[in-house]
């Protein structure tokens, strides 16, 4: 077993295991897993999915994920930590764009098991990028932080590309109408642009009548459009509260709340606790699936 000592703002481990033992690690953000060898199954929320060499998984911020190992397996864990996104002294990467992309991944990934990569070319890209990160970590340590950030940016872009073209919206898995997948993707991509989320604009974008948009959405998602938009915003609020140094004013402005008071009241209504209580508890509420 080889463990690469982590240095913030990211953590890297390479482990060879014949039996899975729950790691004393809580994912505050998310973790990418590359299977370099072996076979077995991945379990999230009591759902299983087979893994083999070159499988790539995304672990959500849950305590109840595991791997049932059939043959000795070699894992590479690449963890994105909250410190990564709180570093305001970054020069080469725009913090806002980087965090926005990371939040897109976390808020849209449905926390079900399964290989996240749908393209063989993207799989090869990720394999090379992760190999470079491992090599840099072994040989240069903290001298490589700037380079590794750039490599992780590339990884982020590949993950987003695969999430957008995959069926990772949980509600979309049970629907055959691809319009709802496209609409959910559109809403999440423009969640910080209120004008794009108006019924009239959605109707024009998806070639529907304004009266049909709400009816169509409710039928497909089993939730009113307005409620979905609010909950989507609040999932991003949770991510920012736990993983960034954004102020409440900045969060309210960026996500289209009238002011901090409006944000606080809306959050308490849906999360069942105040923002202060939520931060003190330090665990996702709306983002995390309850069945775990």
| C-alpha triplet 235, 236, 238: angle, nearest 5° | 65
Q: Taking all residues of the chain, what is their mean pLDDT, rounded to a whole number?
A: 81
Claim: this prediction has a pTM higher than 0.85: no
- Domain definitions of the chain by residue range: 10-165, 170-281
3-state helix, strand, coil in the chain (%, to 5): 50, 15, 30
Give the other-Cβ count within 10 Å of 170's Cβ: 15
Please write the tens of the pLDDT for every residue from 109-123.
655 667 888 889 999
Between 163 and 253, whose confidence is greater?
253
> Lowest-confidence range among 20-24, 122-126, 239-243?
20-24
**pLDDT value at residue 3:** 37
**pLDDT value at residue 214:** 93
- Work out the angle between the directed axes of helices 210-221 and 178-189 (0-180°, nearest 10): 100
Q: Which residue shows structure tokens 């930590």?
A: 81
Please write the tens of the pLDDT for every residue from 123-151.
999 999 999 988 888 876 667 777 887 88
Domain 170-281: give its CATH code. Answer: 1.10.10.60
Please write the tens of the pLDDT for every residue from 24-82.
555 556 788 999 999 999 887 667 889 999 999 887 665 567 899 999 999 998 887 66
Q: Which residue shows structure tokens 């990564």?
A: 84
Q: Cβ(64)–Cβ(88) under 8 Å? A: no
Q: Cβ(57)–Cβ(42) under 8 Å? A: yes
Q: Under CATH, to which class is 10-165 assigned?
A: mainly beta
Closest Cα partner for 107 from 288, 292, 290, 291?
Answer: 288
DSSP 5: P
**pLDDT value at residue 205:** 95
């Amino acid at each position: 077993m080889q463990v690469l000592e982590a240095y913030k703002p990211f953590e890297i481990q390479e482990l060879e295991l014949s039996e899975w033992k729950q790691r004393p690690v809580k994912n505050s953000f998310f973790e990418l897993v590359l299977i370099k060898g072996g076979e077995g199954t991945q379990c999230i929320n009591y759902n299983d999915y087979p893994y083999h060499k070159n499988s790539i998984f995304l672990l959500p911020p849950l305590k109840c994920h595991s791997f049932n190992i059939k043959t000795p397996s070699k894992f590479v864990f690449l963890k994105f930590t909250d410190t990564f996104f709180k570093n305001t002294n970054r020069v080469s990467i725009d913090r806002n764009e980087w965090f926005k992309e990371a939040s897109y991944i976390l808020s849209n990934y449905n926390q079900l098991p399964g290989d996240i990569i749908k393209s063989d070319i993207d799989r090869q890209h990720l394999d090379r990028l992760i190999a470079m990160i491992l090599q840099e970590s072994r040989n240069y340590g903290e001298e490589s932080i700037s380079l590794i950030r750039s490599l992780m940016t590339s990884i982020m872009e590949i993950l987003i590309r695969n999430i957008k073209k995959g069926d990772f919206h949980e509600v979309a898995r049970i629907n055959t109408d691809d319009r709802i997948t496209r609409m959910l993707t559109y809403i999440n991509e423009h969640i910080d642009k209120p004008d794009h989320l108006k019924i009239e604009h959605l109707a024009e974008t998806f070639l529907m009548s304004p009266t049909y948009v709400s009816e169509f959405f409710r039928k497909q998602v089993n939730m009113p459009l307005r409620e979905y938009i609010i909950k989507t915003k609040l999932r991003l609020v949770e991510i920012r509260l736990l993983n960034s140094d954004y102020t409440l004013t900045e969060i309210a402005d960026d996500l289209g709340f009238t002011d901090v008071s409006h944000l606080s009241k809306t959050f308490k209504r849906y999360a069942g606790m105040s923002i202060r209580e939520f931060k003190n508890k330090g665990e996702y509420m709306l983002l995390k699936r309850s069945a775990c």
